[in-house]
A = this chain, B = another copy of it.
Amino acid sequence: MGMLVSAFMRLGIVSSVSDEGSIGSLTLCVALLCTCIVLGHFLEGNRWVNGSIVALIIGLSTGTVILLTSKGKNSRLLEFDEKLFFICLLPPIIFNAGFKVKKKRFFRNFLTIMLFGVLGTLISFCIVSFGAKTVLDSLAIGSFELQDYLAIGAVLSATDSVGTLQVLNQDDTPLLYSLVFGEGVVNDAASVVLFKAIQRFDVSQVKSTVAWEFVANFASLFITSTLLGIVIGLLSAYIIKKLYFGRHSTDREVALMILMAYLSYVMSEMFSLSGILTVFFCGIVVSHYTWHNVTQKSKITTKHTFATFSFLAESFIFFYVGMDALDVEKWRFVTDSPAKSVGVSALLFLFVLVGRASFIFPLSLLSNFVRKSKNDKISLKQQVTILWAGLTRGAVSMALAYSQFAKSGHIQQPGNAILITSTITIVLFSTVVFGLLTKPILKTFLASSVYPDPSEPPSVDSQLLLGDERGSEANKKLRQFHRSSSLQMLFTAPTYMVHYYWRKFDDAVMRRVFGGRGFSSYDIDSIEEESVF
């Protein structure tokens, strides 16, 4: 969505886009993206391949052709600017993630998701950074500062769980899906926030309190970013509900929703907060309130427009990563010592694996400790699936790596070059290998285990997860609980309490002011008289 408006951002820059060469590249790029979509559609039912791999392979093929025609000088149609990624491509992906998240499931597992997404990312970051320092120092490659070690740790802590999510079924394995999805989004935000904190980190002034300051900084960034997203989301709901009453215009509504979503992102970036977190929570609020205040047509349009933008942005990123992987300049330093470079990539990936394993199992244990119902506990198989889902490194890692190690647009130092190529290697390897293996392995692995034992009656927990109808049943049960003893409930099921009081508050106050399901005249599927065209 933001991409629409994002075109404005480069207003200030005199460019060479009207050169016949640039417009030719642009044309080829658009044509190849079309090819990605069509091929991706054909291969949808395929056992091995997914959309990301298709885009990656088309990118690699394009890179090869350009490399051959330019006689080894170039492999890219267009030069990637990591700012483009953060200003144009990331916002629609994250906003759409927030927009389509199953809110109940997400908030039901909120604590576990935060454990994995925030604490887990921090643990992984520490291990990878420490490992990188050990490896790079012992192999004596280039000269690095402390910041570089920390940066590569943050870069390699950003997971990409899209491949696994495509395989998991939201209805068959709700808990697993919710955890993998939630961790993925929070991890994206956490690693970017972490990366920002590192870039601001003043290495010269290391004091004893630095770790605490770091954590405090991280926490305040997290909270203010979230609040900003919620405020702008509510503002959009209020504007559309109050001001548009009685005279809804689909095009204006759609434009306003898109613009305000994007506004949340850029405003957050302007205040040096985490735009990614802001736009994610803005997406949640928009889908909970704003979306229910608009016409049926606007609902359909926005839902699919957000999804389409996200889809296009993702396809483009993988296409570009494929094309960029063949860029000669980056590999020049590597060819001097290929063995060393393969070693670095392999060892770094090993640390990624170790880093991930060392927080998934302990944190799952911790999470299971507070989960009472047997069905609600995270089984070992589920833990392994979550471990697997977060091993792939993708677009965010690439963008962060470019941002840190290719600042001038070119790779000057051999040290930086090897960190970039290692990142590319890990991204390519994990995307292709795990991408190919995920479908067949997960299908077999999960076939028997994750479905709850049908002999055991569903717990209140799982009822709460199953959408509105059953949710309201659970709600009744909760009200009975509540009548019997609210103190007892406080001990047995604190999250239900929170959920129960939130629902009460939501119905009594929030939805009255900001609209939402059941509180808008447009909620009965009232496609207007006017025909579609």
Q: What residues make up the interface of A, taking CB atoms closer than 8 Å to B?
A: 3-18, 20, 22-27, 29-31, 33-34, 37-38, 40-42, 44, 78-81, 83-84, 86-88, 239, 243-244, 247, 249-252, 254-256, 258-260, 262-263, 266-267, 269-270, 272, 291, 296-301, 303-305, 307-309, 311-312, 316, 409, 525, 532-533
Contacts and interface: CB of A to CB of B under 8 A. Distances in A.
A387 to B, nearest CB: 30
Given A4-B312, A84-B11, A266 B23 contact: yes
9 contacts: A12-B22, A13-B17, A13-B81, A26-B270, A34-B260, A250-B304, A255-B312, A296-B532, A305-B308
A8 B308 contact: no
A239 to B, nearest CB: 6
Nearest to A315: B255
A15 B83 contact: yes
Given A263-B27, A301-B304, A37 B255 contact: yes
Given A80-B11, A301-B301, A31 B296 contact: no
Contacts of A250: 304, 307
- For the complex of A and B, 5 pairs with smallest distance between CB atoms: A11-B78, A301-B304, A12-B79, A7-B88, A27-B266
A10 B4 contact: no
A215 to B, nearest CB: 25
A11 B263 contact: no
A270 B23 contact: yes
A38 B257 CA distance: 12
Given A8-B26, A305-B301, A532-B299, A34 B256 contact: yes
Nearest to A29: B8
B316 A251 contact: no
A532 B256 contact: no
A41 B247 contact: yes
Given A7-B88, A260-B34, A255 B26 contact: no
B8 A10 contact: no
A11 B76 CA distance: 11
A6 to B, nearest CB: 5
A300 to B, nearest CB: 5
A10 B14 contact: no
A307 B31 CA distance: 23
Contacts of A309: 4
B41 A251 contact: no
A78 B270 contact: no
A97 B263 CA distance: 28
Contacts of A17: 9-10, 12-13, 83, 87
Nearest to A42: B243
A299 B16 CA distance: 36
A316 B311 CA distance: 26
Which of A22, A239, A251: most chain B Cβ within 10 A? A251
Nearest to A292: B533
Contacts of A260: 34
Given A41-B252, A243-B38, A243-B42, A8 B316 contact: yes
B27 A5 contact: no
Given A26-B8, A26-B266, A304-B251, A38 B299 contact: no
Contacts of A298: 304
Contacts of A80: 11
Contacts of A16: 12-13
A311 B255 contact: yes
B12 A84 contact: no
Nearest to A13: B15
Nearest to A80: B11
A29 B18 CA distance: 25
A299 B532 CA distance: 8
Given A252-B41, A260-B34, A297-B300, A78 B15 contact: no
A4 B3 contact: yes
A308 B255 contact: yes
Nearest to A310: B251
Nearest to A305: B305
Contact of A7 (B7, B34, B41, B258): B7
A409 B14 contact: yes
Contacts of A239: 38
A102 to B, nearest CB: 11
A27 B312 CA distance: 23
A27 B4 CA distance: 14
A468 to B, nearest CB: 11
A307 B251 contact: yes
Contacts of A13: 10, 13, 15-17, 79, 81
Nearest to A33: B259
B525 A259 contact: no
A268 to B, nearest CB: 9
